[in-house]
Structure 1
């Protein structure tokens, strides 16, 4: 009996220890996302992230980059999607995170359009002088509006710039109250019907001041979970590659289209059109100086620096840091590219 009791006790202790070990190994992560059509919706809906990483993931939807960053700063979110403007603002405030992946290059999703009949020649930027241009202030479109004027040698004082939200822009456009606008869909689709494109955000990004939607992770979480981070990036990279291969052949029944409709809502054609406006750089490109790599000479670091300067000029941040390199890492994009090859 003594031997039997000892054996039972040993088995019970072993079971308890195994249970505790299993609990210790359980991994949880909270990820904040936004209403942005993207190829990564397909692996989200298919639960590939959970299946291939072994982590339990809590997906939380946010209305804006500012809100998700606030949640991140308070410890409620480990990984989040935010635009380059709120990322630059948060970095300037010292939030200890890192930009580790570009969800998208805004590319043709934000565009400066000249209204037909306004007297503006889209191929002659100087004809903007004396005209009225509308843009949502302190947005990535506003940032690129001022950069476009700078590249064209036009002073902001030489045109009338109005602060309007996208729905206001569309209405003012149709009344003929404004001559040009820098905006995004759905307002962009409406004004394009009676206007001509002058420049896209993609073209301006190529000149050195990029705008993008990025994925940021709290530094403590990323450093403690490098294997998860690499697998996470690899899954997104594979989804992007699948989209690039199928782009132009998508239909309402395509998995990426159905996933975006399920996750974010909208009509299939709106998803197809929306996806086509953005760029989705591959892991190799993201790890290079074209985006996350290159340290202080990388496009992402330069973009955060330039955006922070813009935000300070607009009175939205108190300081511009001397160096934004600590807030950008190419490590996981490079690891994902290596794992795939």
Structure 2
């Protein structure tokens, strides 16, 4: 059975802070440290996605090695935890869904949006056990619904409830990381789970979960690439190199789904057929962040401000990358 890595908030921050302190060759505003003239680019990734494929293919590592740059790959269980790593100074570039950057910006994390992928609304859903009496989102009134707080599916839940005529206060949100939520779902201690691929494809295949609704006509579910403001402003050619390699991998993956699934399978601990399902629900192509994209992010921020889930009004455009 697939059990994703589960890292607690406190342990993750302690480990990442220690890691960041020990990175003598990591990028600084002035380049490499005096003690070590080599440079290290720290990339935060999740168990699934283009960075996993890029890591496996090794093309970015090879390209940057020619410039004396080493790539260090750091895995995180979800976007909020990855952004904690970025805030702790242990991550330079990472990838997350549409909601984590909102919570991170509200918490004062200094990052910029450097690119995004096209919308993939079918790659996240609200699921219930196969034999559950719940048949629609409206049936979630008073029920325990698990989700990773601040993750991309948080916005899906809010919008799905709104469309069903429910307020966020009409349910009992249970904030759990994917591994804990999966266990709670299988054990029957929650009524529903809001989750993204490949966890979604896995629980559908392995535990016969049934979808109440996916993101279609509710949310865009955009995947973003983020960088620390310092890296983006002082190492723009490096950021462009990463995005170029990502785009090449993305184009290859789009046309070679079975091969990608086979390559990812031993790396993420999921059968290839599960990964094929997830890969066919995703979207491909690394795109520049546009005004329309930032406007969409602003709508998400405003929703969470109104729900008082973030403490203040945000100006999402403050996290725009002034591309060099």
- Per the TM alignment, residue 217 of structure 1 is displaced from its structure 2 partner at its CA by 0.6
Contact 1:107 / 1:200 at 8 angstroms: preserved in 2? yes
Determine which of 141, 146, 165 is the counterpart of 1:135.
Answer: 146
The aligned counterpart of 2:88 is 74
Q: Determine the structure 2 residue equivalent to 1:222.
A: 232
- Give the corresponding residue for 1:6: none
Partner residue in 2 for 1:168: 184
Cα separation, 1, equivalents of 2:135 and 2:52: 39
**2:43 aligned residue:** 31
- 2:122 counterpart residue number: 108
- Aligned residue in 2 for 1:45: 56
Deviations 1:130-179 (A, max 9, x none): 5746232624333312212223433446x544526233233328xxx84x
Shift of 1:106: 5.1
The CA deviation at 1:233 is 0.9
For 1:129 and 1:259, how far apart are their aligned partners in 2?
38
Query: 5 Å matches for 1:187-266?
Result: 188-189=203-204, 193=208, 195=210, 197-205=211-219, 210-247=220-257, 250=258, 254=259, 256-266=260-270
- Alpha-carbon distance, 1:278 to partner: 2.4
Q: How has the CA–CA distance of structure 1 residues 271 and 121 changed in structure 2, closer, same or farther, with 3 Å as cutoff?
A: closer
**Residues 241 and 149 (structure 1), Cα distance of their counterparts in 2 relative to 1, 3 Å cut:** same
Counterpart in the other structure of 1:336: none
Whether contact under 8 Å (2:50, 2:249) holds in the other structure is: yes
CA distance in structure 1 between the aligned counterparts of 2:308 and 2:207, rounded to whole angstroms: 28
> Are the aligned partners of 1:134 and 1:169 in contact in 2 as well (CA < 8 Å)?
no
Contact 1:104 1:214 in 2 (8 A): no
SS of match in other structure, 2:304: helix
Give the one of 59, 62, 74 matched to 2:76: 62
Preserved CA contact (<8 Å) 2:203 2:209: no
Question: Greater Rg, structure 1 or structure 2?
Answer: 1
The Cα of 1:263 is off from its aligned counterpart by 3.9
Q: CA RMSD in A?
A: 3.6
CA deviation map 1:235-279 (0-9, x unaligned): 1112112222233xx1xxx2x234423543433333323323322
| Rounded Cα–Cα distance in structure 1 between residues aligned with 2:317 and 2:106 | 12
Unaligned runs of 5+ in 1: 1-19, 333-341
Deviation, structure 1 residue 118: 6.1
Separation in structure 2 between the aligned mates of residue 82 and residue 194 of structure 1, nearest angstrom: 24
Alpha-carbon deviation of 1:182?
Answer: 3.1
Distance of 2:94 and 2:81 partners within structure 1: 10
Which digits, 9 at most, give the CA deviation of each residue in 1:102-150, with x for residues without a partner?
367553232134666766665xx6x537574623262433331221222
CA contact (8 A) 2:141 2:166 kept: no
Task: Give yes or no for the alignment of 1:268 onto 2:261.
Answer: no
Deviations 1:27-83 (A, max 9, x none): 431112221x22443332222112234332111223343333233223222112333
TM-score (norm 2): 0.70
Q: 1:305, CA displacement in angstroms?
A: 5.0
Q: Which runs of 5+ in 2 are unaligned?
A: 1-31, 176-180
Aligned counterparts of 1:100 and 1:327: Cα–Cα separation in 2: 9
The residue that corresponds to 1:293 in the other structure is: 290
1:204 Cα offset (Å): 1.6
2:27 is matched with: none
CA distance in 2, matches of 1:237, 1:113: 32
Instruction: Quickly say closer, same or farther: Cα 1:64–1:132, change in 2 above 3 A.
Output: closer
CA deviation after TM superposition for structure 1 residue 312, in Å: 7.3
Looking at structure 1, the residues matched to 63 and 96 of structure 2 have their Cα atoms a distance apart, in angstroms, of 24
Question: Residues 166-222 of structure 1: CA distance to partner in whole angstroms, max 9, x if unpaired?
Answer: 33233328xxx84x5533425741698463x443124322xxxx4444221112211
Structure that is richer in helix per residue: 1
